Amino acid sequence: MNQHFIETTEAMDRPGAPPQDVVRLVDLKRRFGATAALDGISLTVRKGEILGIIGRSGAGKSTLIRCLNGLERPDSGQVFIEGREISRLGERDLQPLRRRIGMIFQHFNLLSAKTVEDNVALPLKIEGRSKAERLARAAELLDLVGLSEKAKAYPASLSGGQKQRVGIARALAARPALLLSDEATSALDPETTRSILALLRDINRQLGLTILLITHEMEVIRSIADRVAVIDAGRIVEEGPVWSVFANPQSDITRSLLGAIRPQLPAELAARLLQSAGADTILRVDVAGDAARGPLLSDLAATVPGPFRLVHGGIDHVQQQPVGTLFLSVPGNDAGHLAEVITFLKSRQARVEVLGHVADPV
């Protein structure tokens, strides 16, 4: 990647000044009749980070985006882009600030009658840059996204993943302070999604580009974001480093969004799960960070006399932090033994949940 791009991406920082938040939202509210689409959102996007915002349909994500790029005025609250409050600016003053935000979309929004390089160069044409400058910049960006050989092609001849690469190149053309990704991988198959997310992560790491990523998929958050904010009914219900939200979700909505990618008890066992005691007790044990690094199960065996079995689970990594779920069965009717097992696991910062009881779990 070339140096020219890096220098100009950083151009808004004053020498010696501390890096500022690229976006700061303060108590943002927006109602539509009886619906509070945004109900007091406060949030910052720090320079150089990838912040993921996740929420179900209707949570308020689109309204948030529209307030960010000045297409929607909040009823109250403030929107700062690179330290400048934009929510009350007129259309004329908004134009240059909007160019500080590059956007990529679910359906790419490319112009079908223009070549790939003309699509990429379009923001520069709007800025009134010379043709030579536009073509040089388009070539640089197509190289960045690995599509140099498609410069003269038309969007219709590209795959979905290639179209999104063009979308990313176009979004970066005017050297934005922020790349705003609005469900950018939702229309792509899993493999293409992975390659687009890897590209975004490379651009973030190598160029220091700040990214705000809006999605309804936890897998997207998991594979790319540094921090996550969970939005529901216009409010942020949970926010933090991705690994810690994954390891210890606080709200029902977060747990539900995590649902599909959280380890689950195998279906065969889940189907035989009873709530009445008597058979073996099945525990769900969630561990993360230091709790997941130590020899938890061998320490349990050495410390608490009596049997237990690992029936399912393992340790995964999120943001290089171990995060895992173990399903244990503790045999028999010995309530005292079960209590000791649970007390030991909790003393090691594991979160323990009794799921129910199963006869012959293994």
Ligand X SMILES: Nc1ncnc2c1ncn2[C@@H]1O[C@H](COP(=O)(O)OP(=O)(O)OP(=O)(O)O)[C@@H](O)[C@H]1O
59 is a contact residue toward ligand X (CB under 6 A) = yes
Q: How far is CA 332 from CA 93, 208, 336, in A?
A: 72, 56, 11
60 is a contact residue toward ligand X (CB under 6 A) = yes
DSSP 72-93: S--SEEEEEETTEE-TT--HHH
55 is a contact residue toward ligand X (CB under 6 A) = yes
CB 166 within 8 A of CB 123: no
Picking from 127, 121, 175, the residue whose alpha carbon sits closest to that of residue 10 is: 175
Number of residues in contact with ligand X, rule: CB under 6 A? 12
We find the least distance from the C-beta atom of residue 58 to ligand X, in angstroms, to be 4
What is the rounded CA–CA span in Å between residue 275 and residue 295? 30
Block residue for tokens 């939702």: 186
Torsion of CA 224, 230, 231, 233, to 10 degrees: 140
We find the least distance from the C-beta atom of residue 267 to ligand X, in angstroms, to be 29
What is the rounded CA–CA span in Å between residue 228 and residue 319? 12
Stretch that binds ligand X, among 52-60, 130-138, 143-151, 245-253 (CB under 6 A): 52-60
DSSP single-letter state for residue 274: B
Q: Kindly tell me which of 37 and 207 has the beta carbon lying closer to ligand X.
A: 37
Q: Kindly tell me which of 256 and 264 has the beta carbon lying closer to ligand X.
A: 256
Residues 213-252 that bind ligand X (CB under 6 A): 216
CB 315 within 8 A of CB 323: yes
52 is a contact residue toward ligand X (CB under 6 A) = no
Rounded to a whole number of angstroms, the CA Rg of the chain reads 25
195 is a contact residue toward ligand X (CB under 6 A) = no
Using the rule CB under 6 A, which residue among 57, 112, 298, 320 binds ligand X? 57
We find the least distance from the C-beta atom of residue 37 to ligand X, in angstroms, to be 3
Site string for ligand X, 3-42 (x = CB under 6 A): -----------------------------x--x-x-----
Residues of this chain that bind ligand X (CB under 6 A): 32, 35, 37, 55, 57-63, 216
